[in-house]
Amino acid sequence: MSASLPRLALILTLLICVSAGSAWADPIDHPYVPGEVIIKFKSGASENAKSLILSDLGTTHIKGFGRIKSAHKRLGSLTVEQAIAMYENHPNVEFIEPNYILNMNELPDDTRFDELWGMNNTGQTGGTPGADISADEAWDVFIGNSNIVVGVIDTGVDYNHVDLVDNIWTNPGEIAGNGIDDDGNGYIDDIHGWDFVNADNDPMDDNGHGSHCSGTIGGVGNNGTGVAGVNWDVRIMALKFLSASGSGSTAGAIAAIEYATDMAVRYPGEVRLTSNSWGGGGFSDALRQAIADAGAVDMLFIAAAGNSSSNTDSSPHYPSSYDLDNIIAVAATDHNDELASFSSYGATTVDLAAPGVNILSTTPGNAYSSFSGTSMATPHVAGVAALTFGRFPAVSALDAKSLILIGADPLENLDGVVLTGARLNAFWPIAEPDSIPPAAVVDLARDQVGSNWIDVSWSATGDDGNSGTASRYDMRYSMAPITDLNWDSATLTNGEPDPGPPGTAESMRVAGLDFNTTYYVAVKVLDEFGNASPL
């Protein structure tokens, strides 16, 4: 429903936003790159104040992170510890932190298996039949969507591999080989992604880890060759920040995340998630902000829980342990549906488990190998997320996450070990699509009006018409009457409440409005499959 606001003529006052202080307070007890820091100034810091601080630190610029407004700097004569001690509590500094060293979360295994037990376990490897993700059942319903792009943030991808080549993403805004940054994203000839290790446009895998993860997500299916990924049809974006030795840094990870996030903004509805089989280092404000920024543009961040056999509720593993709604943290199970001996876990910090022991997948040079690790579990979940986005293109990131977590198979031995007490299932998130949208809101009304805001209220409808509880609200405002034709151009609001049962009195504040202006406000109700109510 659309509500006209003809008498909204306001004298606006500016609000001063006070930035919270840095959350980084840990001792530097994780490996980091010597002589490098990541720094972010508070929004009110003057250019002169910034220059003085950078001069005191003796920094040279390495790379800026435009989306999270921070920078990667090389120090002069100061150590990392000295630089942080000098400025972590400075009134103009939001955070200054080490450039932590990050590593892939994979354990090599020389044993090669001819069957993909994680997809369909018949007991072929001596395990328990049915201890799998039910991929065969999922494939009877849906095999993937070439419009969905998964950013694989890893050691690169062998984009020429016979089982991957047809599913490699090609940047539609770039012309190969002309030496020009055609799409203006700051990267020249980034055809299949980018190599943040060597700062070039060739993200070829020189380790094997990233290609292995990619094969699980999107190995070409039904081609008579090798393996099949969770998605037979999908697009893999190669974002290389881990070196041939399997190590990288916080700065490299942030650059890769920002690249994927920028592409999600450029191509909405296509770049929906990243797969992240890596971790280590201490708490990083910068990395957390980059992941949160991806969530703000409706992207999921699938993350390995780690291979230290530890409880991440008490011993956090980053990035999987950041308290962000768009993260799905993944533990590993074996072919008997038991938690892998190496897998980290956490009843509140790890969402679910997935197959991660002796997983066969693609490796460089048209080869195949079996690896173990939460690194191998993570792309199973990323694959199911991509399958869900492909099946239901209108579904939001958080609703896709909900479908994945609710659809997982409960296991007694995982109860109290991971949040869901369950192991991934590929079938249920894409099964039985709900085609009944919520009923329209018919009583959207204006309540109080402030200096630059308005309070609106309405009654909740349902998930299927007026039955059940809906998933979320999508409220927008415009200076013109809002219809289905101009819905996408209306401005999104923030802070919509979670829907209550039908008839619940709902309200929220629409802020950031202009002086002496007539506004129109409208709301749609959405269910977990992305079905939207009429206006």
Question: What angle, rounded to 10 degrees, do the helices at 250-266 and 285-296 form?
Answer: 10
Q: Which residue reads 């703000």 in tokens?
A: 296
3-class secondary-structure state, position 32: strand
Q: Which residues pair with 391 in a beta bridge?
A: none
CB–CB of 389/184 below 8 Å? no
Q: Which residue reads 């992604």 in tokens?
A: 193
- Domain range 32-104, its CATH number among 3.40.50.300, 3.30.70.80, 3.30.70.60, 3.40.50.1970: 3.30.70.80
Q: What is the DSSP string of 401-428?
A: HHHHHHTSEE-GGGBTTBTTSEE--SSG
Distance CA 217, CA 232 (A): 9
Q: Which amino acid is at 233?
A: D
* CA atoms 338, 341, 342, 347: torsion sign: positive
Question: What angle, rounded to 10 degrees, do the helices at 47-57 and 80-87 form?
Answer: 150
Instruction: Work out the end-to-end distance of the chain between its first and last CA atoms, rounded to an integer number of angstroms.
Output: 4
Active site residues per annotation: 154, 209, 375
CATH fold for domain 2-11+436-526:
Immunoglobulin-like (2.60.40)
Distance CA 218, CA 236 (A): 7
Q: Give me the average pLDDT of each 10-residue run along the chain (535 residues).
A: 31 23 52 91 92 91 90 91 91 92 59 67 90 90 95 98 97 96 96 97 97 96 89 97 94 97 96 97 95 97 97 97 98 97 97 97 95 97 98 93 94 96 94 84 93 93 92 93 93 92 95 90 88 92
Per-residue confidence (pLDDT) for residue 432, from 0 to 100: 67
Taking alpha carbons only, the member of 253, 237, 202 closest to residue 63 is: 253
Distance CA 385, CA 275 (A): 10
Taking alpha carbons only, the member of 164, 192, 165 closest to residue 263 is: 192
Q: Which residues pair with 308 in a beta bridge?
A: none
**Who contacts 196 (Cβ-Cβ below 8 Å, separation ≥6)?**
239, 240, 241, 248, 252, 255, 256
Distance CA 2, CA 413 (A): 50
Per-residue confidence (pLDDT) for residue 115, from 0 to 100: 67
CB–CB of 121/129 below 8 Å? yes
Taking alpha carbons only, the member of 380, 335, 376 closest to residue 212 is: 376
Distance CA 46, CA 41 (A): 9
Distance CA 271, CA 274 (A): 8
Would you state the structure tokens that stand for residue 415, as one six-digit string?
A: 């109860």
Per-residue confidence (pLDDT) for residue 114, from 0 to 100: 52
Asked if the bond preceding 108 is cis, omega within 30° of 0, the reply is: no
3-class secondary-structure state, position 52: helix
Give residue limits of the domains in the chain.
2-11+436-526, 32-104, 111-430
Per-residue confidence (pLDDT) for residue 222, from 0 to 100: 86
CA angle 145, 146, 152 (to 5 degrees): 100
Per-residue confidence (pLDDT) for residue 238, from 0 to 100: 98
Distance CA 444, CA 523 (A): 8
Q: What is the DSSP string of 251-303?
A: HHHHHHHHHHHHHHHHSTTTEEEEEE-EE-SS--HHHHHHHHHHHHTT-EEEE
Per-residue confidence (pLDDT) for residue 444, from 0 to 100: 96
To the question of domain 111-430 being in CATH 3.30.2130.30, the answer is no
**Who contacts 92 (Cβ-Cβ below 8 Å, separation ≥6)?**
41, 42, 44, 45, 49, 50, 53
Per-residue confidence (pLDDT) for residue 108, from 0 to 100: 37
CB–CB of 523/474 below 8 Å? yes
CA angle 259, 264, 251 (to 5 degrees): 25
